[in-house]
Structure 1
Amino acid sequence: MPAPLSFGFLVFPDIQQLDLTGPYEIASVLDRPKEVHLLWHDLRPVRSTTGLAFTPTRTFADCPPLDVVCVPGGIGVNALLRDEAVLAFLRAQARSARYVTSVCTGSLVLGAAGLLRGKRATSHWLARDLLAGFGAVPTQGRVVRDGKIITAGGVTAGIDFALTIIAELCGDEAAQACQLQLEYAPAPPFDAGTPETAPKGVVAKLKAGGAAVREQRSAFASGWAARNPA
């Protein structure tokens, strides 16, 4: 019997729930021993941007060493960029984790923790370029790997990312079984899933709606290198 795999997902106020629940579901249906933890400062429930509540299962203080540590994204990422307890936890886990990962704008938090210097990484299309401020190499892609750093693009890319992780840890057949069990065979009714294919008006609307959040992130990223010399 193989040793249980340990997955740890950060949860936090104003998380983008699908960033978490997509890869969480993949890890949970994996047919082998595993532990899937939800991690936060304390065990009080936190609410996503859409109001869904998540109850952490472990605190940073009592979390064991993880095989995979993952930071989802969401509006709440902005507060995490300045949360030294979060950043210290990620740095500590990164020393022994097999994979250090993120979904969507969670990669900005890995950057703020100093884990992306010189690494290729991706994020949501509205934030990908900001990774340069953390010394990363912004790279377009649904899943981007650089050594043990694996980052996913926006939101639904977390499902592709999770299948990639399962294949790395357990082989292609195990990942295919997870995919089939969840009937993950996307066939969207519109070709509007990237800014290159979506109507220009839709792209402009999303950019305008996210401008204030992006401005806060940009201001933090622009001064990060000076505050954190290599």
Structure 2
Amino acid sequence: MTDTAAPATTVVFLLFPGITQLDFTAPAQALSRMPGARLVGAAANRDPIATDSGFAILPTHDFASAPQADILCVPGGHGVTEALGNAETIDFIARQAAGAQWVTSVCTGAFLLGRAGLLRGKRATTHWAYTHLLPLVGAAPVKARIVEDGHLVTSGGVTSGLDFALTLIARLQGEAVAQAIQLAIEYDPAPPFAGGHPDRTPGTITEGLKARVYDAAAARMEAALKA
């Protein structure tokens, strides 16, 4: 979907090793269809970026050559814990955010915004398994899939990135454009199970998943945030 009359909008996605690919590709798919959108994938260098899905993605730019974002989006993933300690990455986020119209995150990307000093005094959300850590970066946790606080938009885990993108498209170009894109990608959720969040998932499943994955992952994130 293109429209040469639409204002140009540069969308810069931060890329880093260990990124959750859907945190990036879901909002990218929707935003790429917004009239006037130009998508950029920026990383420390232009080598392939290993994702959590067993394949790599190729950045379009390195940090030095990336254009100024109108929309800055920081995805999450287990690689966030390493990225938190990378001064070049955090500096890139801070510099881009200073000139961006919108500063956004998906999932645990919120903690990278926080490390760059962008969540202090802000309402924010992230993946449900990590929301208790948001005060460590000065944010007030909100139990919601999408949280807007001024020009800051944070979203919950993984699939919420698509909801965030459609919400932002509606803010920028109106609900009709956002609804047309939603229709074009046939985003008509009908999940096979009533779940996807601890509030709607049997407790035994939630506790089992936390024990297998997220208790340790959240502890690693907390240690990285306190380092």
TM-score range, shorter chain: over 0.9
Q: Distance in 2 between matches of 1:205 and 1:105?
A: 21
> What's the offset of the Cα at 1:57?
0.2
Q: Distance in 2 between matches of 1:42 and 1:125?
A: 31
Q: Which residue of 1 aligns with 2:99?
A: 96
Q: Which residue of 2 aligns with 1:197?
A: 200
Count of residues in Structure 1 that have an aligned counterpart in Structure 2:
222
Q: Which residue of 2 aligns with 1:155?
A: 158
Question: Structure 2 matches for 1:29-178, cutoff 5 A?
Answer: 29-30=33-34, 32-178=35-181
Structure 2 gaps, min length 5: none
SS in 1 for 2:198: coil
Q: Distance in 2 between matches of 1:65 and 1:10?
A: 12
Q: Residue 19 of structure 1 is aligned with which of 17, 20, 23?
A: 23
Q: Distance in 1 between matches of 2:128 and 2:69?
A: 28
| Farther-moved stretch of structure 1 (208-217 vs 155-164) | 208-217
Aligned residue type for 1:118: G
Aligned residue type for 1:207: K
Percent of matched pairs sharing the same residue = 44
SS in 1 for 2:73: strand
TM-score (norm 1): 0.93
Structure 1 gaps, min length 5: 225-230
Q: Distance in 2 between matches of 1:220 and 1:169?
A: 35
Which 4+ runs in 1 deviate beyond 3 A? none
Q: Distance in 2 between matches of 1:216 and 1:51?
A: 22
> What's the offset of the Cα at 1:168?
1.1
Q: 1:69-113: per-residue Cα shift (whole Å, max 9, x none)?
A: 111111001111111111111111111101000000100110111
> What's the offset of the Cα at 1:199?
1.2
TM-score (norm 2): 0.95
Q: Which residue of 2 aligns with 1:210?
A: 214
